[in-house]
Structure formats: C-alpha cells, structure tokens
C-alpha cells in the first residue's frame, strides 16, 4: 500500500460557506457566495506560497459539499483528509453593522464541520508534517474539535496557533483555558494586540507588549508573532525582538481573511526552510494583497506576486552589499 507523503503544512478546522454583503443585512440584500472559513483561508495561502498543503476537515456529502472540495482543489489544496458525511453546512454572513463596521453572523451550531474529533487525526501525517496549524476558531466550534487541535499540537513537530478569538463563538474564559492547554506545545502563537492578547491572558488593556510576551512564555510558548494593526508585526524569540512594518495595500476591498493569509504564508515559508523573519515579511505582503478581493479567499496572491509586493514596499529589506 502506498504511503501518502507528509505535507509541508497541515491545517485543521471547519470550511464555511460565506455570504458577503457590503451593506447591513436586510430582506432583499444581495449576497455573494464564497467558500471560506479560517482553515480554508490559511490552507489557500499556504498552498499559494508553495507548500504542499493538506486540510483536515469534515464536509457534508451534498452538492454544495462537492463545490467546496472542488474549490479547495482549484486553490491547490490536497483534499485527501477531507471526510464527507451526513450533516449541515456551517455558514457565516459577512456584512456591515449599523455603524458600518464589518460583522460576522454565524449559522453553524451543530454543523457537520464542527464534529471534527481526535479519531480523524492521521497520526503519521500530523507527526511528520513540516508545520501543523489551527486557530482558536477550530477550538471554539465544539469540545471534540478542541480536543482534536490539542492532540495535534501535542504530536506535531512544529505547531503554530492563532488564537483568533471570536466572542460570538466562545467565551473568553473558555478561550483562555484552551490557550493555556495548547501553549506548552506551540512553537509559535500569533495573537493580535492589544485586544485579543490582553483578553486571553487576563491582563489590563494597557498591558505592554513585553507583558504579553512574558505571559505567553510563562504558559510555555516558544516564539511569539504578534500583529498590531497599523503598527505592524513584532516577533519575539530568545534571540530578541524584531519589528516588521505593515505593507501598504494597493486596494482595500474586504479585510476578511487577512490574518489567515498571513498565517498560511508564514507557515508555508517556515516549512519550506525560510527563517522566521523572512516568513513573517512574506506573510505581511500576502495579507496586504489578499484584502483586494471579496471574502476570505477572494484574492489569493501567488508567491511571485507576494514577493514582488514585498520588494516594492517603501522599506523593503535590502540585500547586504557583499
Ligand atoms: O479570519 C477570517 C475568518 O474569521 C472568516 O473566514 C470566518 O472562519 C471564519 C470564522 O469562523 O469566523
């Protein structure tokens, strides 16, 4: 029997149907159907960044499920770990709230995708994958999905966790507990600052970046890659701290999935041998490009496009003269 070769990146979570409206939802709103969810967004970015990428997920066996699998294939994702079965799709509506801010409304409780369980994990592939990654969304959707992520984190050589806290899916207390359990197995945790990081570490909102790094280290995390909105990303490792500026976008259409694009690109480039700083810089470039499309996978830049965007950034890193 042939043995499936290990992927560079293995992602797990729920694939969602995405319905996007630029306006407040009301009867008669026109919606654009997309196929997304953080796990798919991360996988698409990882595949586009050159990694052999597998997505572990459960997808209903119906016509829409077939479309989901087809879309994953188009995005270059290996779908052999997508299990099909009876159940409902998970859906989210991405729209504006009355103040014009982007808002997600979910219709996903009890979905087939949220029934992911530890028995779904292909132990050998999880143990041999270059990088394994999941987010707090996967841990929020059900206890069995949280246990799956926890088990994968324990088995992986390199595990990357994006807390991706969604108050509409889980409580802060539960998200904190999950982070505490997973942290000792993480090579990298990627929180956003200040809101998410301070909430999940039970620190005051004014807590400094150093406070966050120290708190995550106390939980057992090795490296921290923290996004800070317009202030860019900061990497904190044993070797010190590096500030990485954001790359100005060419066009902003929809911010959905920017963080996932960053994570997928970073994981891919790490798995393919880039150092953390290079992987993060490429992640910021991919995130800056991906927001020119509608929805989480509306525009997935190729590695060549991402590299070109990074090189054209105002303070692109220059080669040391030899
Ligand atoms: O990060 C973007 C995701 O939040 C979006 O694609 C929807 O997966 C999603 C979720 O669960 O919020």
Per-residue model confidence (pLDDT) at position 23: 86
Sheet strands side by side (includes 16-20): 32-36, 16-20, 91-96, 102-107
Q: Which residue from 11, 14, 16, 259 has its CB within 8 A of the most atoms of ligand 1, so it is best to mutate?
A: 16
Say how far apart CA 9 and CA 43 lie, in whole Å. Answer: 8
Per-residue model confidence (pLDDT) at position 317: 65
Chain centre distance of CA 37: 9
Residue 2: which pLDDT band, with cuts at 50, 70 and 90?
low
Which run of H or of E encompasses 210? helix 209-219
pLDDT of 123 > 80? The answer is yes
| Protein residue with its CA nearest to atom 2 in ligand 1 | 257
Q: In degrees, to the nearest 5, what angle opens at C-alpha 236 toward C-alphas 234 and 237?
A: 150
User: What confidence tens digit (pLDDT) does each residue in 227-248 have?
Assistant: 999 999 999 999 999 999 999 9
The whole-number average pLDDT for the span 131-140 is: 98
- Nearest atom within ligand 1 for CA of residue 141: 11
* Count of CB atoms situated within 10 Å of the CB of 86: 8
| Protein residue with its CA nearest to atom 9 in ligand 1 | 37
User: What confidence tens digit (pLDDT) does each residue in 252-305 have?
Assistant: 998 999 999 999 999 999 999 999 999 999 999 999 999 999 999 999 999 999
Identify the bridge partners of residue 60 per DSSP, sorted by sequence position.
Answer: 85
Report whether residue 16 contacts ligand 1, using a CB cutoff of 6 Å. Answer: yes
- Nearest atom within ligand 1 for CA of residue 41: 6
Could you tell me the distance, in angstroms and rounded to a whole number, from the CA of residue 192 to the centre of ligand 1?
Answer: 15
Residue 319: which pLDDT band, with cuts at 50, 70 and 90?
low
| Protein residue with its CA nearest to atom 6 in ligand 1 | 37
Could you tell me the distance, in angstroms and rounded to a whole number, from the CA of residue 122 to the centre of ligand 1?
Answer: 24
pTM value?
A: 0.96
- Nearest atom within ligand 1 for CA of residue 16: 8
| Protein residue with its CA nearest to atom 1 in ligand 1 | 257
pLDDT of 192 > 80? The answer is yes
pLDDT of 19 > 70? The answer is yes
pLDDT of 185 > 60? The answer is yes
Residues with Cβ within 8 Å of 44's Cβ and at least 6 positions away in sequence, in order, are 75, 76, 77, 261, 264, 297, 300
Say how far apart CA 205 and CA 227 lie, in whole Å. Answer: 15
- Nearest atom within ligand 1 for CA of residue 36: 6
Per-residue model confidence (pLDDT) at position 1: 46
Report whether residue 254 contacts ligand 1, using a CB cutoff of 6 Å. Answer: no
The whole-number average pLDDT for the span 72-100 is: 93
- In degrees rounded to 5, what are phi and psi of residue 17? -80, 135
Average pLDDT, the chain: 95
Pair 157, 127: CB distance under 8 Å: yes
Report whether residue 87 contacts ligand 1, using a CB cutoff of 6 Å. Answer: no
pLDDT of 210 > 90? The answer is yes
Percent of the chain residues topping a pLDDT of 90:
90
Burial of 205 by CB count in 10 Å (0-12 exposed, 13-18 middle, 19+ buried)?
A: exposed
Structure tokens given for 107: 């219709």
Report whether residue 36 contacts ligand 1, using a CB cutoff of 6 Å. Answer: yes
Strands 16-20 and 32-36: antiparallel
DSSP type of residue 89 = P
Per-residue model confidence (pLDDT) at position 318: 59
Least confident range from 45-49, 79-83, 94-98, 266-270: namely 94-98
Pair 59, 69: CB distance under 8 Å: yes
Residue 322: which pLDDT band, with cuts at 50, 70 and 90?
very low
Could you tell me the distance, in angstroms and rounded to a whole number, from the CA of residue 38 to the centre of ligand 1?
Answer: 5
Cα distances from 240 to residues 212, 235, 237, 245, in angstroms, run 15, 8, 5, 17
Say how far apart CA 312 and CA 292 lie, in whole Å. Answer: 17
């Amino acid at each position: 029997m042939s043995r499936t070769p290990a992927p560079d990146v293995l992602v797990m979570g729920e694939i969602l149907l995405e319905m996007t409206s630029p306006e407040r939802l009301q009867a008669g709103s026109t919606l654009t159907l997309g196929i997304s969810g953080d796990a798919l967004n991360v996988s698409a970015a990882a595949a586009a960044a050159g990694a052999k990428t597998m997505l572990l997920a459960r997808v209903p066996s119906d016509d829409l499920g077939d479309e989901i699998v087809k879309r994953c294939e188009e995005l270059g994702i290996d779908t052999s770990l997508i299990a099909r079965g009876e159940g409902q799709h998970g859906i989210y509506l991405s729209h504006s709230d009355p103040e014009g801010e982007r808002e997600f409304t979910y219709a996903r409780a009890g979905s087939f995708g949220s029934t992911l369980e530890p028995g779904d994990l292909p132990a050998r592939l999880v143990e041999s994958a270059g990088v394994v990654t999941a987010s707090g969304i996967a841990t929020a959707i059900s206890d069995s999905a949280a246990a799956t992520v926890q088990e994968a984190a324990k088995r992986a050589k390199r595990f990357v966790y994006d807390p991706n806290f969604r108050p509409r899916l889980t409580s802060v207390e539960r998200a904190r507990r999950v982070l505490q359990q997973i942290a000792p197995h993480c090579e990298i945790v990627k929180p956003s600052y200040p809101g998410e990081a301070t909430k999940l570490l039970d620190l005051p909102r004014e807590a400094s970046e150093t406070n966050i790094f120290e708190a995550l280290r106390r939980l057992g995390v090795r490296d921290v890659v923290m996004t800070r909105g317009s202030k860019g990303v900061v990497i904190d490792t044993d070797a010190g701290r590096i500030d990485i500026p954001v790359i100005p976008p060419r066009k902003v259409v929809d911010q959905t999935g920017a963080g996932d694009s960053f994570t997928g690109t970073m994981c891919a480039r790490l798995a393919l041998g880039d150092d953390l700083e290079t992987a993060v810089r490429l992640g910021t470039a991919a995130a800056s490009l991906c927001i020119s499309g509608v929805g989480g996978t509306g525009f997935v830049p190729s590695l060549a496009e991402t590299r070109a965007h990074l090189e054209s950034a105002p303070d692109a890193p220059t080669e040391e003269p030899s």
